[in-house]
A and B are shown apart, each in its own frame.
Chain A
C-alpha cells in the first residue's frame, strides 16, 4: 500500500539537479519498519532526536550513533543516500579543527603556540556523533517513508492546515519545476553551455532562475484556476488514513526504557551504571 502512495519522480540527474532525496526508490532496500504507523515513526523520531541532542558524553553519543545507524539500516536507507551527509561533515570538520583549541582543559597536543585540549576534542566528537545520529534517525524513520506519507502523518498529528497544504502542494510542484528546470538546462546544453566561473555563466544561470520563476508563476495561475474549478476552497482534505495498531503503541512504549537507559548511561557513565544496577 505504501508503494502506491508515491508518485513517479522522474530523475533530473541529467541537469545536475539532485531531487533524488525526495524519491522513495532511493531507499533501494526493503523498509523493515513499514509495518508501523507513519505517525508512530514520526513520534519516535522526535523522541530519539530529543534524547540524542541532550546527551553530554562522547561515549553515549557513540552508542546513539550506532543505534541510529541500525535504525537507518532497518528503514532501508541505502548507502547512496548517505552521500547527502557530506555537507554536514564539512561543518563538522570546521568544528573538529577548531574546538580542541578553543576549549580549555588538559593538554592533548601542542602545535606551536596552539594548545589542543582533551575536553575540546571530546566535545567535537560528541557533536560529530550527535549530528550524524539525528540525521540517520530522520533518514531511517521519516525519510524512508517517502515525502507524501510523511507529510500526511504530520497533518494527522496536527500540523496547521495551511502549512500542510503548502507542504503538499510544494512537494508536487518541486517535481514539476524540477522537470521544467531539467528541460531548460538540456536546451542550454544543446547550445554548448558549460557552466564556468565567469560573467557569462552567471548571467545565463541567473536568467535561467528568472525564467523558471516566470514560467512557474504562469503555471501557478493555471493551477489555482484549475483547483478552483474542482472546488478548492482552502479546506484540507486528506486522502490517506493510517491505522494505529497495538504494535505502534508497543514500539513507543518499548523505546522509552531504552532512551531512559541511554540518558542514565550518559549521566553516570559505565561505572555509575554498574553501581546503580549492582
Chain B
C-alpha cells in the first residue's frame, strides 16, 4: 500500500511532491557517472524483482519495500532506482498512478536517503577489511589478520560483526518503512482533513510491515557481510 493512486491527493501536495522529487532525481543523476549506469541498472532491477517476492507474514503475505536496504547499499543512486521501479510499476502493473509519481517517489526515496545519511558510514566501517592489527574502532578490540592474502580479514564475518550487521540492517529497514508510512499518512492528511481516519489505518498497518522489513533487511545485510562485503561499501570500491 505504499503506492498512492491518482485521484486521491490534492494539487498542492502533488505539485510539491513532483518538484522535490525532480530536484532529488536531478541531484542523484548528476552524481551517477555514465560508466556506472550498468551497475546501477542491475542493482535497481534486483530491488525491483525482490520487491515482487511475497514474504509470508502470519496468515497472509507481504511485499517488501526495500527502500532501507537500497539507501544502505546504493546511497544517492537509490533515488533513480526507486523512480524507475515506480514508473514501471505504475505503467505496467497499475500500482500507483501517473501524476502521483512524484509524491510516491519522495515517500520512498527520502527515507532511503535518510538511512544512507545516518547508517551508511557505520556500514562502511563494519564491512571494511581490517588491515594489520590496528584497533578496530567499531569493536574496540585488536583485529587479527587471517587470510591476509585475500586482503580480507576472516574477522569481517565474526559472529559479533554479523550481529552488528543484522542490527544495522534492521534499523535501516524499520526506520525507512516507518518513515515511509508516516510520509504516506502525511501526504493524505495534507490533502484533506477527511483523510485522517484512513491515514491512521494506513500508518498502523505499516508497523507490522516495518518489523518484517527490519528482520529481512537485517538478514540480507548480515548475509552480505559474510558472502560479499564489497557490496556493503559500493562507493569506496568504485572510487578506490
Residues of B within 8 A of A87 (CB): 1, 3, 95
Cβ of B186 < 8 Å from any Cβ of A? no
Residue of B32, B90, B91 with most chain A CB atoms under a 10 A cut-off:
B91
List residues of B (34-81) whose CB comes within 8 Å of A's CBs: 34-46, 48-50, 52-59, 61, 73, 80-81
Among B105-113, B125-133, B139-147, B220-228, the stretch in contact with A: B220-228
Residue of B1, B45, B202, B215 with most chain A CB atoms under a 10 A cut-off:
B45
Given A131-B8, A170-B84, A227-B38: A207 and B43 interface contact (C-beta under 8 Å) = no
Residue of B nearest to A88 (CB): B5
Q: How far is the CB of B117 from the nearest CB of chain A, in Å? A: 21
Residues of B within 8 A of A85 (CB): 94
Cβ of B88 < 8 Å from any Cβ of A? yes
Q: How far is the CB of A25 from the nearest CB of chain B, in Å? A: 13
Residues of B within 8 A of A99 (CB): 194-195, 198
Residue of A nearest to B55 (CB): A205
Q: How far is the CB of A39 from the nearest CB of chain B, in Å? A: 15
B45 touches A177 (CB 8 A): yes
How many angstroms between the C-alpha atoms of A54 and B14 in the bound complex? 12
B44 touches A170 (CB 8 A): yes
Residues of A within 8 A of B4 (CB): 91
Q: How far is the CB of A60 from the nearest CB of chain B, in Å? A: 12
How many angstroms between the C-alpha atoms of A22 and B87 in the bound complex? 12
How many angstroms between the C-alpha atoms of A81 and B54 in the bound complex? 19
List residues of A (155-195) whose CB comes within 8 Å of B's CBs: 160, 162-163, 165-167, 169-174, 176-178, 181, 195
Given A46-B98, A94-B202, A95-B198: A197 and B56 interface contact (C-beta under 8 Å) = yes
Cβ of A103 < 8 Å from any Cβ of B? yes
Interface size on A, residues (CB 8 A): 89
How many angstroms between the C-alpha atoms of A17 and B93 in the bound complex? 13
Cβ of A201 < 8 Å from any Cβ of B? yes
How many angstroms between the C-alpha atoms of A45 and B98 in the bound complex? 9
Residues of A within 8 A of B138 (CB): none
Interface size on B, residues (CB 8 A): 75
B219 touches A212 (CB 8 A): no
Q: How far is the CB of A195 from the nearest CB of chain B, in Å? A: 5
A196 touches B6 (CB 8 A): no
A173 touches B45 (CB 8 A): yes
How many angstroms between the C-alpha atoms of A196 and B150 in the bound complex? 38
Cβ of B29 < 8 Å from any Cβ of A? yes
B39 touches A221 (CB 8 A): yes
Cβ of A52 < 8 Å from any Cβ of B? yes
A220 touches B39 (CB 8 A): yes
Which residue of the partner chain, among B55, B88, B90, contacts A22 with CB atoms under 8 Å? B88
Residue of A nearest to B41 (CB): A169
How many angstroms between the C-alpha atoms of A94 and B53 in the bound complex? 24
How many angstroms between the C-alpha atoms of A211 and B227 in the bound complex? 8
Given A88-B5, A134-B7: A202 and B49 interface contact (C-beta under 8 Å) = no
Q: How far is the CB of B170 from the nearest CB of chain A, in Å? A: 11
Residues of A within 8 A of B216 (CB): 202, 205-206, 209
Q: Which residues of B contact A (CB under 8 A)?
A: 1, 3-8, 11, 14, 25, 29, 32-46, 48-50, 52-59, 61, 73, 80-81, 83-85, 87-88, 90-95, 97-99, 193-198, 201-202, 212, 215-216, 218-220, 223-224, 227-228, 230-231
A/B interface sample: 14 pairs, CB < 8 A: A17-B53, A84-B93, A102-B193, A131-B5, A131-B97, A134-B7, A134-B97, A173-B41, A173-B44, A177-B49, A202-B215, A207-B219, A214-B224, A217-B42
Q: Which residues of A contact B (CB under 8 A)?
A: 16-19, 21-22, 45-46, 49-50, 52-54, 81, 84-85, 87-88, 90-92, 94-95, 98-99, 101-103, 120, 123, 126-127, 129-131, 133-135, 138-139, 142-143, 147, 150, 160, 162-163, 165-167, 169-174, 176-178, 181, 195-197, 201-203, 205-214, 216-217, 219-221, 223-224, 227-228, 232-235
